[in-house]
A and B are shown apart, each in its own frame.
Chain A
């Protein structure tokens, strides 16, 4: 997902002036803080200071590997003047103040956390610091200009000294300063530096709390049988055997299936298999990968809604010395984070606690409010670490299930899916068909390009107001090529296949970049030009992109000889406010593609933590490589055929390439880095496969046999 300029939220997301970002202080704090100990003061919604000098900084974004647990507090701590490595971090509860202004909800996604928080969190840190300084100045009866804040203390004239803990209570009663002056970048202690992550220690000794680790007093464990065909309903079931099994406390029917609730998860999971359930599988039972592909192809015959029109494409095509056309196809994909879906709910008569891994606190809260007829203030959302998200945990189906089960049995319940549940009941990355044609003049210069996309819309399901005039902005990312091609016509068509779809790391960038960057390589070949030089010649209007292309080519040694059996592919993409180029070095043996080295050059504007940026680039390349080489979800009789990692392989250590990230020093506004490399790796590897074999693979995953 990329940034949305004018958010229009769903009805249950309350409209709020705070959503615009900027000043966050002074708003009513979320209910969760009402119970905070008396010794803790909160100058604002982002900072808690204990009388024992403990400084806790809240991250309003979920930590799912991307580093916000470190990066968000870094922005606050920089201006607050505290030692980043001495603070505590908490993930914020649901609350208006924590809304991501770029997405219009308290949502972690779209590689937007830093872009949204870069100014907002520094302002919040600066305001809190100024309030602490004012409190000190008042205490000592001196002018604020004589006081300095540093390392969690304020010092003043004649050796006056007070810790933040001693000042916090008085500070939190002071008015919030307007327009605080922020530090000049050259004075940053933490921002822009490769600071160590704050969550590493807990993640190497087993103490980090993930959703699956949640434990509440009196908690029971649940396993849920869902219809093997997504969307099917329970007709009837016989749970006599299950109820007699050890540890089983309840067997309850909920909207999505039949849940067994037991003293331990293994008991619940075992008993679940003994229930005889009759399902109404619904119309989707007739679906197969063949029917989906045929439907997509038939739908693509119709024209779509135009999103880019420039010059006269038909005229330019007629006048072209050479024309070419090609179709590219992408399969459904599963997210498959390492932690299977799970959530803990404790529904009481007039309150509800939701505790677990979610990317979308506000939606979890909203769904609970709707289901239980409660006000948001009666619902508490506690977010654990996420064992991967990748977009799957934007959806809250498993949260709603936990709520229903807890309500039915009158106890706190932890619902844990099996890996098979997770893979067969995902919201899949949409399948897509891209039909592209292009024209070259006699000199081999591209003069026309036509792009027709047919795919499904996640946004139509999750955020319908964003789909306007037949166009879903989250289908169109990286769909218009960045190149200077004078005549262009691009349109897209929304076609629902019947299988539910979800946002998947890098969303439509991945679909469109594969098609476009493969096609540009095909154009280069038709023009008889080097793929790097061909791209470079069309990027004069895009200096940042041209720069990273040149950087990646130089670092990868583009054009220089390689050892025998090694080949290169190249590509560029703009996405999330980031310009990126990649060069992959591969070999092909026995029909298998092996990616050895990936050189990534990225210009993402100002960075909060270049170390985390590098981690994210390494991560995104591997995640995208799993999709490029292996990823494919298929359907038969309405059922997902892949159930576990044996049938849905992902990149493992031996197949993992060396990733080299080259980062451009930039003062441009911060872009996102959690996703773009995932999108770009597929075409770059496909282009290398062409260099190695002369075979143009236009379908993912890349298969030579």
Chain B
């Protein structure tokens, strides 16, 4: 049965990536590896990891990458986002963090980073860093269900995989309804709309990663170098 590996928040840490690759080699049925952004970060020089992602070693599961919040900040600061700069990073972490980010990535990687997409749509799943609203949108188990449903509705998908919160969780929207009364110049009408059954899944970050089987809708939360943090969650 096909399975996907979902990784994010490597932050330039090649060691963690290599550990994950080693563990993926032991897993059966893995066909795709999605790296949902934050490949880079201010704590590590990211050049070696970026090289490995672009030029996988023999036996590596080929990574399919999108950009995350840190890439967005770097691209903005280096002039790849029109007039925008890394304002969010500057406000939250100060100028030193901006400088640290700039020095952690060689300019030779910028063209590749700028070519990365916002997300992937695979089957009925959206694979994103934040959400359909913004790369920096943090979706958590405590987020309003109304917001989660909105983020799913914007892309008309049944599953939204997110990484920005760094948490591993599965939240199923599994029922509910709302009444809508509309009055216009032609008269009045009532409608009832049922809440669709959809899910938001947090895949974790760094050494926390996830495996997903789209055929069975089964998610497994893992930690690189450790034991599974869940025995597998499936509601299908």
Q: Do A and B come from one complex?
A: no
Chain B residues engaging chain A, CB cutoff 8 angstroms? none
